[in-house]
A and B are shown apart, each in its own frame.
Chain A
Amino acid sequence: MCKNSIKRKSKQVLNAYLCAQEFIYLFIMRKYIQDFRVTDCTRLHANYVLLKLAQDTPLPKILPGQFAEIRVENSPATLLRRPISINYVDRERNELWFLIQLVGEGTRHLGDAKKGDIINVVYPLGNGFTLPSDNSKNVILIGGGVGTAPMLYLGEQLKLKGITPTFLLGARSAKDLLQLEDFARYGKVYTTTEDGSHGEKGYVTQHSILSTQSFDMIYTCGPKPMMMAVAKYAKAKNIECEVSLENHMACGVGACLCCVENLKDEGNVCVCKEGPVFNIKRLLWQI
């Protein structure tokens, strides 16, 4: 019993330490502008590339859910940087991973990057997902399409905290489900596809796991209708839920006031600075 209480106590101390550390990191968190070397740019399928960018020096602290503004060179039609979620941070190789959906001229340019190219990156930007303070929490990470990108790094960070997350990943069809083996390293992976070619047929919110298991925390990123459906589920079940928004942005640092989301408590705030992650309680979504 004594042993248990010491164990419990040391766990509490450790948790308090982790919380304090997070607070300090948030406080001293700073942004960088750096040139990165392309180490890999692999087409995962017709519409997605996995871009890996490396530095010679160790990368700074990066929170899961943060993003980068990536410069697109020699493309006058796309003057602005492209805001892209940080998919994964490989500390051994000093590498940032970006899962990029090729939607327009800017992302297509990035998708054409060759090994050895230099790409300028402003990072890490925005806030991150709130990691649970106690590791007995049952958490689920729900991602749709390219919205699965930040879930990989979040999954790893949760695992490092001693929380084994559940992943629920949705896509149109099997070929659109990306990095499944990477996700499987950190937790159990469930999938849905609209055509039924992988996992359960339908949308993520229709997956049986949401009715057979209970969760204390939901993290979600993906197309807005999907996130709204997830938020609606979370609200109905009274589960804490954080969503990562993708509003169009220019500066990425809270200066231009273009990417605003209207919040219940504060009115219009910059998604790039106050977000991209928000608790659904703050949003004015009709859910």
Chain B
Amino acid sequence: MQLANPVMTASGTFGYGTEFADFIDLERLGGIIVKGTTLNRREGNPYPRMAETPSGMLNAVGLQNKGVDYFVQHIYPAIKHLRTNIIVNVSGSDIESYVRTAEIINELEEIPAIELNISCPNVKQGGMAFGVTAKGANEVTKAVREVYKKTLIVKLSPNVTDITEIARAVEDGGADSVSLINTLLGMAIDAERRRPMLSTITGGLSGPAVKPIALRMVWQVSKAVNIPIIGLGGIMNARDAIEFLLAGASAIQVGTANFIDPTVTIKIIEGINDYLERHHYQSISEIIGALEC
């Protein structure tokens, strides 16, 4: 998979792209990672699913989606013409459901890659269960690798003791790339009502609050694996994006920032170009992992 630029949109924050078509030219993006897709339709968690926290937000959507068949029949035809990389985020509750979903997506000509979500903190069964042990991460990656012939990205959970161990296990399993980080497990409480703010009590934290953790993990993983890294977590502007590239990411994803400024991705693309020009770099590859320390 080739990217026109390193800026992609994070799964679950950009719908299927079409939601943002009034605000930006979607074809200027390096890629769009569409909403988490599962084998069968999922209703997701009950409302309330969101709580705003200082410099961040918690969500507990729970992978609401209409299932992979609906995606193939109704959504794919509407977005496949877009001249950008449409990447499907694939989630499951057991190895079998990951494999079957990946097999179906493998048949879609205009989808150059999948992002395997082994790190969703908001579903009781599966998801993060695979992402928190090296063995589980390795097994699910291996199984999907056997059926999925195009670019396989695996999205890692930060809710682990040593993320480099998981990253290595995924690389061994045959992943072409890793993306990190998914949301951090968090919690918010309404003290007046003595109740949790989310229906699921805990949820995933995103936004600028998580950026230092994400940067640290990208830097650690870049030392541990030889496959390209896609960095994400609290990127709000071009400067944040450049920090991830310097830490070792080959590309980045913008998530929560899309909610605050639906045009932010374009500003980031332009900001990165300005930075390269200002520092007299010929190409983006010169700043990937260029951190001096």
For B49, B54, B55, B259, which residue has the most chain A Cβ atoms within 10 angstroms?
A: B259
Question: Do B22 and A30 have beta carbons less than 8 Å apart?
Answer: yes
Q: Mark B232-263, 1 if CB is under 8 A from A, else 0.
A: 00000000000000000000000010111111
B136 at the interface (CB under 8 A from A): no
Question: Do B52 and A78 have beta carbons less than 8 Å apart?
Answer: yes
For B49, B256, B261, which residue has the most chain A Cβ atoms within 10 angstroms?
A: B49
Question: Do A250 and B55 have beta carbons less than 8 Å apart?
Answer: no
Q: Mark A23-42, 1 if CB is under 8 A from B, else 0.
A: 00000001111000000000
Q: How far is the CB of B3 from chain A (nearest CB, A)?
A: 21
Question: Do A250 and B22 have beta carbons less than 8 Å apart?
Answer: no
Chain B residues with Cβ under 8 A from A261's Cβ? 47
Q: Mark A244-272, 1 if CB is under 8 A from B, else 0.
A: 00011111111111111110000110000
Chain B residues with Cβ under 8 A from A77's Cβ? 54-55
Complex interface: stretch among B10-18, B83-91, B95-103, B146-154 = B10-18
Residues 80-134 of A at the B interface (beta carbon under 8 Å): 80-81, 120, 122
Residues 239-291 of B at the A interface (beta carbon under 8 Å): 256, 258-263
Given A249-B50, A250-B57, A81:B260 Cβ within 8 A = yes
Question: Do A254 and B22 have beta carbons less than 8 Å apart?
Answer: no
Inter-chain CA distance A79–B262, complex, in Å, is 14
The one of A76, A80, A249, A268 in contact with B44, judged by C-beta atoms closer than 8 angstroms, is: A268
Question: Do A253 and B49 have beta carbons less than 8 Å apart?
Answer: no
Can you offer 26 A-B residue contacts whose CB atoms are under 8 A? A33-B23, A33-B262, A79-B56, A79-B57, A79-B207, A80-B259, A122-B23, A122-B262, A247-B47, A248-B50, A249-B50, A250-B50, A251-B19, A251-B258, A251-B262, A254-B15, A255-B12, A255-B14, A255-B259, A256-B50, A256-B59, A256-B61, A257-B44, A259-B49, A260-B44, A260-B49
B208 at the interface (CB under 8 A from A): yes
B27 at the interface (CB under 8 A from A): no
Question: Do A260 and B19 have beta carbons less than 8 Å apart?
Answer: no
Question: Do A255 and B207 have beta carbons less than 8 Å apart?
Answer: no
Residues 6-44 of B at the A interface (beta carbon under 8 Å): 12-15, 19-20, 22-23, 35, 43-44
Q: How large is the interface on B (under 10, 10 to 19, 20 to 34, 35 or more residues)?
A: 20 to 34
Question: Do A257 and B207 have beta carbons less than 8 Å apart?
Answer: no
Chain A residues with Cβ under 8 A from B20's Cβ? 253, 255
Inter-chain CA distance A71–B257, complex, in Å, is 12
Inter-chain CA distance A258–B261, complex, in Å, is 17
Question: Do A267 and B43 have beta carbons less than 8 Å apart?
Answer: yes
Residues of A within 8 A of B (CB): 30-33, 71, 76-81, 120, 122, 247-262, 267-268, 273
Chain B residues with Cβ under 8 A from A71's Cβ? 260-261
B159 at the interface (CB under 8 A from A): no
Question: Do B12 and A256 have beta carbons less than 8 Å apart?
Answer: yes
B220 at the interface (CB under 8 A from A): no
Chain A residues with Cβ under 8 A from B44's Cβ? 257, 260, 268
Question: Do A31 and B22 have beta carbons less than 8 Å apart?
Answer: yes
Given A31-B23, A250-B50, A256:B259 Cβ within 8 A = yes
Inter-chain CA distance A208–B207, complex, in Å, is 50
Given A253-B262, A257-B64, A79:B50 Cβ within 8 A = no
Question: Do A76 and B55 have beta carbons less than 8 Å apart?
Answer: yes
Question: Do B263 and A33 have beta carbons less than 8 Å apart?
Answer: yes
Which A residue sits closest to B256, measured CB to CB? A79
Q: How far is the CB of B181 from chain A (nearest CB, A)?
A: 18
B212 at the interface (CB under 8 A from A): no
Given A32-B22, A251-B258, A76:B54 Cβ within 8 A = yes
Chain A residues with Cβ under 8 A from B35's Cβ? 257
Inter-chain CA distance A79–B234, complex, in Å, is 11
B48 at the interface (CB under 8 A from A): yes
Which B residue sits closest to A260, measured CB to CB? B47
Known: A256-B50, A258-B49, A260-B44. 12 other contacts (CB 8 A): A33-B23, A79-B256, A247-B47, A248-B48, A250-B57, A254-B19, A255-B258, A255-B259, A256-B61, A257-B35, A267-B43, A268-B64
